[in-house]
Amino acid sequence: MIHVETVKLSRIVMKLTPELHTFLKPGELDSDIVLMHGIDALLEEDAIEIIQFSISEHQKNNYLQ
Positions in the chain short of pLDDT 70: 61-65
**Contact between 40 and 60 (Cβ < 8 Å):** no
Report pLDDT for 3.
85
CA angle 39-44-47, nearest 5°? 60
Report pLDDT for 60.
78
Q: Which domain holds residue 38?
A: 5-64
Report pLDDT for 64.
53
Report pLDDT for 1.
77
Report pLDDT for 42.
95
Q: pLDDT digits over 30-43, tens only? A: 999 999 999 999 99
Q: Which residues contact 10 (CB under 8 A, 6 or more apart)?
A: 21, 24, 29, 30
Domain count, the chain: 1
